Structure 1
Amino acid sequence: MADRDDEPGDKNSEEEFRELLRNLLSGGGGIDPTQLAGAAGLPNDPASVAALFSQLQQAMNTADDGIDWSAALRQGEQRAASAQVQVTDEERARLDQALQVASLWLDEAVEFGRLPDSPELLTRRGWVAATMPIWTQLAEPVALSIADALTRVMREQAPEEMQSMIAGASKLMRGIGGAMFAMQLGQVVGQLASEVVSGGDVGIPLQADGRAALIPQNVAEFGADLDIPSTEIELYLAVRELAHARLFRHARWLRLNLISAITAYARGIEIDTERLERLADGFDPSNTEELRRAVESGALISAKSEAQQDALDRLETLLALIEGWVDQATADATSRLPKSDAIAETIRRRRATGGPAESAFATLVGLELRPRRMREAAAMWRAVTDAVGIEQRDALWAHPDILPTSEDLDDPSRLIARLTGAESATTEADDEFDQALEALLRGETPAAPGEGGDAPGASGETGDEPDDGPSPV
């Protein structure tokens, strides 16, 4: 009976809370709509404000525990489309030809076969639509953590008379927090659409079908300030993208392994509730800039645990191996291009100063995935290629258990020794020692050199003594 008596109160509390939120969103509670839009990372314009309020109203009327990510897609496409240009027929013909030549060159540099599907040429908006499912998968654990933490802090900070109201509306608060996070995600991905030049530019294949893709508008902008013919830049970037796509198609375990590692890390992220409490305690509804900065900068995410740091180190090594291999394969395939080294250095500088992967992951899931050991990885793959050739090098991607480790990046010589068989003599000697030690532990005394199979009866005695009795003392 007690449970039944509680239900109407909970429903009434939730309805009261909904009414309170409606008043706040309508301007009756002192919240400036443009400031609220700014907290969600949206531009200060009527269309963005209307989109935010529509999404929040939808979240209020939904009882689902999950996050409606459709707002992220709408925001991302809108932002990407605002500055995009369509692919012209001339660009399409030129880049299609570059991709065909790139495929031929790559055949000589890698063991992995050609892709079954033709590469795509995407607009910025098309890239957002193609990649948003993966972005939401990576961001959801953090979005839920932040939404839950906000609800918990609000419940702890609220006056006694509002406790039951907030407790009865926890799902509602989770949905509203998730909606604001989704809209911010859309803004970030929409911005990324103006930076990336290809499907694999962020280090992982973001398209579900694994197809290679170039964004012609961004390819053109990438080479605008370089004193390098555009045809060389297009060929180089085409080779890089095809190399990346071929690697992930051949090593089918790699994509799932990488995305699973990122999402597992994200699920372990904890929110800094003390920081949240400080924000809530001094929160000014008319000035949401501090809240927006805290969410965007990752300040609400607690310091990494030891387990998370270990996971991050493994993830960073894997990303470095991927990027290093792609760099090395691209360098071999584009050796005919006069300016290939200059283009490669431009890409390295672009990554070193914080490329699209770093800014996106740091904002969304608290991860800075700049592969700092990329140069070491590229040098290791070069040494392996010189030592054992392309076929044996690429065979290392057959299974995660045989992939080079962080220690191999530190010292590639041991990896090369294993691959070339240079360790076989050492291994044989180690095996003989192990066998002798095992015999000794069983109580067997190995025969000394030059002696027969029978051990002498005692030290210093000759073999003339009879075998049927002990030697005289």
Structure 2
Amino acid sequence: MTNGFGFSFPNDSNDDGDNDANNRGGSGNGRGDGDGSNPFAAFGFGGSFGGGQSGAPGGGGLGDMFNQLGQMLSGMGTSMNAQDKGDAVNFELAARMARQRLAGVSPVSDADTRAAEESLRLVELWLDEATDLPASEAKAQAWNAEQWLNQTMPMWKRLVNPVAEHMNRAQLDTMPEQAREMMGPMAGMMNQMNAMQFGMKLGHALGDLAQQALTGTDFGLPVAPAGTAAVLPRNIAEISKGLDLPGQEVMVYIAAREAARQRLFRHVPWLVERIVSSVEEYAAGLEIDTSHIEEIARNLNLEGGDPQQIQEALQNLQGEDLSPRVGTRNAGATSRLETLIALVEGWVDVVVAEALGERIPSTPQLAEAWARRRATGGSAEQAFANIVGIELGAPRTRDAAELWRRIGTAVGAERRDQVWNHPDFLPTAEHLDNPAAFIDTLLDDQPDTDFDDEFAKLEQELRDNPELKRDEGDGKDDGREDGTEL
């Protein structure tokens, strides 16, 4: 792969050490099937006319299109029959294709299982000293890539399905009314075809990510089942090869990140649903803009009938982006999702550094390696782009970590962690630019200890000197100037 997820070191080998493209699904792009300019390339809205690379599922070349059509038709009967009628994605096909990319995955050994369980148990003790959020009591597990795929699929369904549903609707909205009427009788067939197309792309993306994931909640995405803290020892061992550090320390660091996230997802009950609802809000506002394609078509003069002119016109299309431009009216949902992921991972950065810093000398190196991993492919925005189809901006995790660090210094770890008590208490994207403003709101909520001390002192004086109270009463005017009572 050109863009590995392993601490910025490419993870080119599969379990049997064979780098043959067929065993990797024929894709040489570590980002799955998309690119930065086309957030839905992962779902088949390919790039330039005739410019797609062979074997790259997101390409727009005619050869790729016919190849994909052949694959779809070859398994159409069984896949259509297996599709859940309520889904906009053929998840059965997606799972089958992902497993094909994972052929030959070895079972998790007993030694790896023990190492994972002991690491997770150890870091829970250390995290107790760095955060007031209690241990999640999640079950410690060691997974291989196929187990990761099977265990996380239910959450991917929740995230992908609304995007696919609204994508289908947005596609129909862009069609002329007459075309929609003519398509009416074939609508069911087209929906199934779209579901298969989505399923194929999802299978490619999940198959790739399963070979790169290190935990059940990589990138701050709660895709593992509730109550499960999982690490992938084989994938961790692969990325450890590129680091001049003991493999055990790498395992402990990654286990600490997983355990810290599990504390958040367990004790902040609104957090998981907030992430899912942000995806649903994004999907509900999907729009497809084809105006640039229409402009290209208008400027393409094929009426002359001159073969040379037609050939020149088609050559001019080389490199043109003929994929629909996908956007959403709900930009706020995208911003909330970006900020929420940054806050989760930034909080984990701070808590893990505090818990491990004095115990594992290589913690700063591991933290920097993790940051490089985020920057070179192992990140939430890339996972969303490749799998869910949402093009996020890079979550500002470093800024979020700095904010959490300064909050802890200003008001302490207990008050810092209480910020997670309600979504309305969380910092916003603007606070990542201006941490002092958010910290001021927390300081304003703190009791005025100087006033309380003075009040307590006065109260004690009155208690110790009852005469003071009587003297104060005697000093009040209780009559008229002539001495008569009121």
Fold similarity call, TM over 0.5: yes
Deviation at 1:384, TM superposition (A): 1.4
Percent identity between matched residues is: 37
SS of equivalent to 1:109? coil
- Matched with 1:27 is none
Q: For residues 33-89 of structure 1, what are the alpha-carbon distances to aligned partners after superposition, in whole Å with 9 as ceiling and x for unaligned?
A: xx9995799x99x9996676324664389894643322122222332x225332112
SS of equivalent to 1:212? strand
Paired letter, 2:128 = D
2:311 matches 1:318: no
Mapping 1:31-46, distance limit 5 Å: none
Work out which of the residue numbers 123, 129, 154 in structure 2 matches 1:133: 154
Coordinate RMSD, CA, aligned: 4.0
Task: Report the Cα distance in structure 1 between the residues aligned to 2:186 and 2:417, rounded to whole angstroms.
Answer: 55
- Matched with 2:324 is 300
Higher relative contact order (CA 8 A, sep 6+): 2
Distance 1:341 1:61, change over 3 A: closer
2:103 matches 1:103: no
SS of equivalent to 2:228? coil
- Matched with 2:208 is 191
Answer yes or no: is the 8 Å Cα contact 1:200–1:241 preserved in 2: yes
Q: For residues 280-330 of structure 1, what are the alpha-carbon distances to aligned partners after superposition, in whole Å with 9 as ceiling and x for unaligned?
A: 999xxxxxxxxxx99xx994343444xx32322222121111111010001
Paired letter, 1:317 = T
2:167 matches 1:143: no
Q: For residues 370-414 of structure 1, what are the alpha-carbon distances to aligned partners after superposition, in whole Å with 9 as ceiling and x for unaligned?
A: 544211111111111122222111111111121222333223233
SS of equivalent to 1:120? strand
Deviation at 1:279, TM superposition (A): 11
Q: For residues 7-43 of structure 1, what are the alpha-carbon distances to aligned partners after superposition, in whole Å with 9 as ceiling and x for unaligned?
A: xxxxxxxxxxxxxxxxxxxxxxxxxxxx9995799x9
Paired letter, 1:130 = Q
Task: Report the Cα distance in structure 2 between the residues aligned to 1:375 and 1:39, rounded to whole angstroms.
Answer: 31
2:178 matches 1:178: no
Work out which of the residue numbers 49, 58, 82 in structure 1 matches 2:103: 82
Deviation at 1:128, TM superposition (A): 0.8
Paired letter, 1:318 = L
Answer yes or no: is the 8 Å Cα contact 2:338–2:393 preserved in 1: yes
2:218 matches 1:201: yes
Distance 1:221 1:381, change over 3 A: same
Deviation at 1:366, TM superposition (A): 3.9
2:434 matches 1:417: no
Deviation at 1:136, TM superposition (A): 2.2
2:270 matches 1:253: yes
Mapping 1:211-360, distance limit 5 Å: 211-274=228-291, 299-305=323-329, 308-335=330-357, 336-360=359-383
2:420 matches 1:401: no
Distance 1:139 1:422, change over 3 A: closer
Aligned pairs, number: 379
Bigger Rg, which one:
1
Q: For residues 350-370 of structure 1, what are the alpha-carbon distances to aligned partners after superposition, in whole Å with 9 as ceiling and x for unaligned?
A: 112232522231234442345
Work out which of the residue numbers 104, 114, 127 in structure 2 matches 1:93: 114
Answer yes or no: is the 8 Å Cα contact 2:120–2:255 preserved in 1: yes
- Matched with 1:462 is none
Answer yes or no: is the 8 Å Cα contact 1:198–1:215 preserved in 2: yes
Answer yes or no: is the 8 Å Cα contact 1:213–1:241 preserved in 2: yes
Distance 1:76 1:234, change over 3 A: same
Moved more, 367-376 or 392-401: 367-376
Deviation at 1:92, TM superposition (A): 1.6
SS of equivalent to 1:100? helix
Task: Report the Cα distance in structure 2 between the residues aligned to 1:215 and 1:370, rounded to whole angstroms.
Answer: 27
Answer yes or no: is the 8 Å Cα contact 1:388–1:420 preserved in 2: yes
Task: Report the Cα distance in structure 1 between the residues aligned to 2:439 and 2:83, rounded to whole angstroms.
Answer: 58
- Matched with 1:59 is 80
Task: Report the Cα distance in structure 2 between the residues aligned to 1:279 and 1:176, rounded to whole angstroms.
Answer: 27
SS of equivalent to 1:119? strand
Deviation at 1:145, TM superposition (A): 3.9
Deviation at 1:109, TM superposition (A): 0.9
Task: Report the Cα distance in structure 2 between the residues aligned to 1:77 and 1:97, rounded to whole angstroms.
Answer: 29
Answer yes or no: is the 8 Å Cα contact 1:148–1:174 preserved in 2: no
Please state which structure has a larger fraction of its residues in helix.
1
Deviation at 1:274, TM superposition (A): 4.4
Distance 1:268 1:359, change over 3 A: same
For structure 1, which runs of at least 5 residues remain unmatched after alignment? 1-34, 283-292, 429-473
For structure 2, which runs of at least 5 residues remain unmatched after alignment? 1-53, 301-318, 452-486
Alignment TM-score, normalising by the size of structure 2: 0.68
